[in-house]
Amino acid sequence: MPVPALDSEARERLRADLEALDCVRRAVVDADPLRVYVVCDRAESPTDMLVSSVLARSGISAGQAEVHLAYLAPPEQRQRVRFVAARMTTPRSGRAAAEVELEWGAQSHAERAEGEASPPLELRLAATATLKALEGILRDRVRFSLLGIKSFRVFDTDVVVVLMRTDQGAPLVGASLASGDPHRAASLAVLNATNRVLGNYLSNSHG
């Protein structure tokens, strides 16, 4: 059965129709002979049937074109350390204690840091407790040093920014909107700063 003649405009329409399918990431249509290359998101979808339907609408039946399907590998599901809570208490006059709880691998990791009570120092306590909890999760595979933490007023919004470094000297910076809870923001800023490093160490870990 002869292959319908497809000029460049018709091939472009066919390509666009194929890429309009939810399961198709990219399509290429070549002529002489007619070849169709389709890159798909997942193998479990009925992509071959959908592609055949699009070809039929263009007047191309089975056997009139070489159709090549390629499936992308599913993305690696990288878990992230989950923030649970940050609490600040005053065990006695002039003293404050931060307790931060994180979750990794369905297990809770809570750590505590105590020091002098004042708004700037309490931010540092929350960040320190967060780092201690992270080091427990990492089981001493990497350590972090807290260089500084500060709250800024930016565009009528309070932002907590943290500066850290790894035990190998790499600088890390993280930030979080305070949203009325500066201690929570301090903990989230630490997690934001360490997220990429944590992914490298935890991607093959099961907790």
**77 found inside a domain:** no
Parent domain of 95: 82-202
Instruction: Considering only residues 98 and 63, tell me which one the structure prediction assigns the higher pLDDT.
Output: 98
101-152 pLDDT tens trace: 998 877 888 999 999 999 999 999 999 999 999 888 887 677 888 999 999 8
Q: Rounded mean pLDDT of 81-91?
A: 91
More confident residue, 157 or 90: 90
In the chain, pLDDT over 70 holds for what percent of residues? Answer: 86
Question: Based on the domain organization, do 62 and 95 belong to the same domain?
Answer: no
Do 94 and 154 sit in the same domain of this protein?
Answer: yes
Asked if residue 173 belongs to a domain, the reply is yes
Q: Of the ranges 19-28, 96-105, 120-129, which one carries the lowest mean pLDDT score?
A: 19-28
Coil, strand or helix at 126 = helix
Q: Are 198 and 133 found together in one domain? A: yes
Confirm whether 86 is domain-assigned: yes
Residue 207's pLDDT band (cuts 50, 70, 90): very low
**Domains in the chain: how many in total?**
2
The label of the residue with tokens 């472009």 reads 12
182 pLDDT more than 90: yes
Instruction: Quickly count: other Cβ atoms within 10 Å of residue 107's Cβ.
Output: 10
What CATH number should be reported for the domain holding residue 33? Answer: 3.30.300.30
Which among 187, 157, 155 has a CA at the least distance from the CA of 174?
187
- Asked if residue 66 and residue 91 are part of one domain, the reply reads no
1 located within any domain = no
Whether 97 has a pLDDT exceeding 60, the answer reads: yes
Residue predicted with more confidence, 25 or 46 = 25
> Per-residue pLDDT tens for 29-51?
887 778 888 888 765 557 778 88
Most confident among 6-15, 48-57, 168-177, 179-188 (mean pLDDT): 179-188
Confidence of residue 157 (pLDDT cuts 50, 70, 90): confident
Structural domain includes residue 93 = yes
CATH of the domain at 151: 3.30.160.270
Of 11-15, 26-30, 74-78, 116-120, the range with the highest mean pLDDT is 116-120
- Of 31, 74, 70, 38, nearest in space to 53 by CA: 38
- Kindly report the pTM of this predicted structure: 0.60
* Within a domain: 51: yes
> With the C-alpha atoms ordered 136, 137, 139, 142, is the resulting torsion angle positive or negative?
negative
Asked whether residue 2 is domain-assigned, the answer is: no
163-174: b (≥16 Cβ within 10 Å) or e: bbbeeeeeebeb
Q: Where are the beta strands (DSSP E) in the chain?
A: 24-30, 35-40, 66-71, 82-89, 95-104, 107-116, 144-154, 157-166, 171-177
Residue 147 lies in a domain: yes
| Residue 99 pLDDT exceeds 80 | yes
Calculate mean pLDDT across residues 146-171: 85
